[in-house]
């Protein structure tokens, strides 16, 4: 590992404050093992470092030394917040975040933040627990930003979860339709089944399943989503086949031939995972099938992740918590369910996020006119790049998980 000085640093770098911060930067990037980084200092100087392993090449432009103080004191959450307020930038934000993700094991002890800060962040996260009132607040925080906002950059189906690219040349619209079709296949519909959709979003899947001959009950905690989805059902003349309700999954009664839940488990919260899987088991009719699409976190990262709330939990999905693949299998087993098949497609989520980001940035003038400030643009750009980086680095993944009751006949 070597440092390469690509530009002579101005005399101001010799000042006590700047030289101390510059040394901190050098010590930090010296931990990088995979890829290459160039840091542009506030003074105009450049510092570079190359790891011994292959990885992304990225540039960090420091506009204020405060960004480094936030990183050291508040960890990666502080660094994210420094980006949101403009303390640093990058010509390729996704590449920089992927570089950090691929080197997270080496960087962890340098960017974990001071323990009082970690404790405070943990306390804030716990206060956003997904009790029934808490879940309504947490869901509204993200999904009730307005249907007009989401229509600016989602595909026409308003599907806000990973697409499934069955062809590298597919459009986002085609890939989202392929994903919905795959879920229909996993549910093994034969006609006339009653399907419960936990977290029905804006109604795209409910409409598709109803067209396939199912009767669908969809539930959500977002009043904005509910209004849009109900309008969609009426427009498609499917009101006799689709019923949509504003209700918590814990309050659902009755049994269903099929249950589907797309990227909703992530919003349940660790304390409520047993309740969620117990609900699946209790609401599933004998011989029924439950199909989940879930974002998971790598097993090796889970313990650190569950102790220290990250940027997503603080600013995007309050109360959220990603499970691991082993957690899904274990929670299902404990609830009396059997995991019968899985299919991972994390690379497709990275592609989906790239397309969302392109559309979000292209639509920004329209979004800004709705009253969203520049700080919101930087927040969401960071969010989309942060998630893309996680999928590319393999820290997070997404997959389908098909469940049956443990004693069910697999031939049904």
Interval 249-306: pLDDT, tens: 999 999 999 999 999 999 999 999 999 999 999 999 999 999 999 999 999 999 888 8
Cβ atoms < 10 Å from Cβ of 194:
16
- The residue range of the domain holding 74 is 20-120
Give pTM, 2 decimals: 0.89
CATH number at residue 216: 3.40.50.150
174 and 209 fall within a common domain: yes
Whether residue 248 contacts residue 364, with contact meaning beta carbons closer than 8 Å, is answered with: no
Residue 18: both structure tokens together: 């700047």
In this prediction, residue 23 has a pLDDT band, given cuts at 50, 70 and 90, of confident
Per-residue confidence (pLDDT) for residue 110, from 0 to 100? 61
Q: pLDDT per residue over 309-339, tens digit each?
A: 788 888 888 888 999 999 999 999 999 999 9
Q: Are 4 and 48 in contact (CB under 8 A)?
A: yes
DSSP 401: E
Model pLDDT, residue 84: 95
In a domain, 389, yes or no: yes
Q: Are residues 91 and 149 both part of a single domain?
A: no
pLDDT at 111: 61
Whether 109 is covered by a domain: the verdict is: yes
In a domain, 412, yes or no: no
Biggest CA–CA distance in the chain, Å, is: 77
Higher pLDDT, 51 or 18: 51
**Secondary structure E strands in 72-141:** 88-89
Mean model confidence pLDDT for the chain? 88
Cβ atoms < 10 Å from Cβ of 406:
12
Q: Are 325 and 349 members of one domain?
A: yes
Q: Which residue has the higher pLDDT, 3 or 180?
A: 180
For 301-316, letters b (16+ CB in 10 Å) and e give bbeebbebbbbbbbbb
Q: Flag whether 260 is in a domain.
A: yes
306 or 172, greater pLDDT: 172
**First vs last Cα of the chain: how many Å apart?**
58
Asked if 219 and 197 count as a contact pair (C-beta separation under 8 A), the reply is yes
- Output phi, psi for 45, to 5 deg: -70, 165
Report the alpha-carbon distance of residue 157 to residue 262 in Å, rounded: 15
Distance CA 187, CA 260 (A): 8
Q: What is the mean pLDDT of residues 236-259?
A: 97
Count of the separate structural domains present in the chain = 2
Average pLDDT of the segment spanning 2-7: 34
Q: What is the mean pLDDT of residues 160-165?
A: 98
Q: Of 65, 86, 120, which residue constitutes the final position of a domain?
A: 120
Domain boundary, last residue among 95, 120, 145: 120
| pLDDT value at residue 14 | 42
Mean pLDDT of 21-30: 84
Q: Are residues 147 and 219 in the same domain?
A: yes
Beta bridge mates, 7: 46
CA angle (380 as vertex; 28, 90 as ends), nearest 5: 40
Q: Inform me whether the pLDDT recorded for 2 exceeds 60.
A: no
Asked if 51 and 168 sit in the same domain, the reply is no
Whether residues 176 and 310 fall in one domain: yes
pLDDT band, residue 370 (cuts 50/70/90):
very high
Q: How would you label 201-231 residue by residue, b for 16+ Cβ within 10 Å and e otherwise?
A: bbbbbbbbbbebebbbbbbbbbebbbebbbe
Please indicate whether residue 387 is annotated as part of the active site.
Answer: yes
- Per-residue DSSP letter, 12: G
Whether the per-residue pLDDT at 12 is higher than 60: the answer is: no
304 with 330, same domain: the answer is: yes
Q: Could you give the percent of the chain with pLDDT greater than 90? A: 70
Q: Which two tokens stand for residue 181?
A: 């079709």
pLDDT computed for residue 174 by the predictor: 98
Task: Say yes or no: 146 and 76 in one domain.
Answer: no
Are residues 46 and 142 both part of a single domain?
no
Say what the pLDDT of residue 6 is.
Answer: 36
Give backbone dihedrals phi and psi of 137, rounded to 5 degrees, phi first.
-65, -45
Q: What is the pLDDT of residue 151?
A: 97
Enclosing H/E stretch for 398: strand 396-405
Whether the Cβ atoms of residue 104 and residue 396 lie closer than 8 Å to each other: no
Average pLDDT over residues 380-390: 96
Q: What per-residue confidence (pLDDT) applies to 4? A: 38
Report the C-alpha gap between 50 and 306 in whole angstroms: 31
List 152, 200, 385, 387, catalytic entry: 387
pLDDT at position 200 over 90: yes
Element spanning 138, H or E: helix 132-143
pLDDT attached to residue 396: 97
| Domain membership flag for residue 167 | yes
Q: Say whether both 249 and 188 belong to one domain.
A: yes
Same structural domain for residues 160 and 77? no
CATH number of the structural domain spanning residue 90: 3.30.1050
Where does a domain end: 67, 98, 120? 120
Q: Are 95 and 58 in contact (CB under 8 A)?
A: yes
The reply to whether 5 falls in a domain is no
Q: Is the pLDDT of residue 166 over 90?
A: yes
Determine the pLDDT at residue 369.
97
- For 120-161, how does the pLDDT look when each residue is reduced to its tens digit (9 = 90+)? 444 454 446 677 777 777 788 788 899 999 999 999 999 999
CA 97 to chain centroid:
14
Compute the chain's Rg from CA coordinates. 23
Higher model confidence: residue 307 or residue 232?
232
pLDDT at 60 over 70: yes
Strand residue runs (E) in 308-367: 337-344
Give the per-residue pLDDT at 343. Answer: 98
Residue 395 per-residue DSSP state: S
Average the pLDDT over each of 112-116, 177-181, 202-206, 280-284 and give the range with the smallest value.
112-116
Tens-digit pLDDT profile for residues 75-109: 888 899 999 999 999 999 999 999 999 998 877 76
Residue 14 lies in a domain: no
Neighbours of 168 (CB within 10 A): 7
| CA-closest candidate to residue 209, choices 175, 162, 260, 166 | 260
CB 48 within 8 A of CB 96: no
Say if residue 95 is in the same domain as residue 173. Answer: no
Query: What is the CB neighbour count within 10 angstroms for residue 192?
Result: 9
List of E strands, 187-272: 194-198, 215-220, 242-246, 256-262
Answer whether residue 79 is part of any domain.
yes
């Amino acid at each position: 590992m070597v440092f390469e000085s690509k530009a002579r640093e101005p005399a101001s770098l010799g000042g006590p404050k700047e030289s101390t911060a510059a040394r901190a930067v050098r010590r930090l990037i010296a931990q990088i093992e995979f890829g290459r980084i160039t840091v542009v200092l506030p003074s105009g100087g450049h510092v570079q470092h190359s790891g011994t392993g292959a990885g992304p090449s990225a540039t960090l432009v420091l506009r204020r030394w405060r960004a480094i103080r936030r990183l050291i004191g508040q960890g990666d959450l502080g660094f994210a917040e420094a980006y949101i307020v403009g303390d640093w930038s990058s010509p390729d934000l996704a590449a920089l975040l992927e570089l950090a993700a691929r080197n997270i094991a080496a960087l962890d002890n340098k960017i974990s933040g001071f323990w009082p800060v970690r404790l405070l962040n943990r306390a804030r996260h716990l206060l956003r627990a997904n009790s029934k009132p808490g879940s309504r607040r947490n869901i509204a925080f993200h999904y009730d930003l307005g249907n007009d906002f989401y229509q600016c950059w989602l595909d026409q189906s308003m599907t806000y979860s990973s697409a499934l690219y069955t062809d590298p040349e597919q459009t986002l619209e085609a890939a989202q339709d392929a994903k919905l079709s795959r879920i229909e296949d996993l549910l093994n519909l034969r006609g006339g089944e009653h399907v419960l959709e936990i977290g029905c979003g804006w109604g795209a899947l409910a409409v598709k399943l109803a067209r396939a001959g199912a009767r669908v009950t969809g539930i959500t905690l977002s009043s904005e989503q509910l209004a849009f989805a109900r309008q969609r059902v009426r427009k498609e003349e499917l009101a006799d086949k689709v019923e949509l309700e504003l209700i918590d999954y814990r309050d659902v009664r009755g049994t269903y031939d099929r249950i589907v839940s797309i990227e909703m488990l992530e919003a349940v919260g660790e304390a409520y995972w047993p309740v969620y899987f117990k609900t699946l088991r209790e609401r599933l009719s004998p011989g029924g099938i439950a199909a989940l699409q879930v974002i998971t976190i790598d097993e090796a990262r889970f313990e650190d992740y569950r102790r220290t709330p990250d940027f997503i939990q603080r600013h995007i999905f309050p109360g959220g918590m990603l499970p691991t693949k082993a957690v899904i299998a274990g929670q299902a087993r404990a609830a009396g369910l059997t995991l019968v098949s899985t299919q991972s497609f994390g690379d497709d989520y990275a592609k989906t996020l790239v397309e969302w980001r392109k559309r979000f940035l292209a639509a920004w003038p329209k979004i800004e006119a709705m009253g969203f400030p520049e700080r919101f643009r930087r927040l969401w750009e960071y969010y989309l790049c942060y998630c893309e980086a996680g999928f590319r680095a393999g820290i997070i993944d997404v997959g389908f998980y098909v469940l049956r009751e443990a004693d069910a006949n697999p031939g049904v």
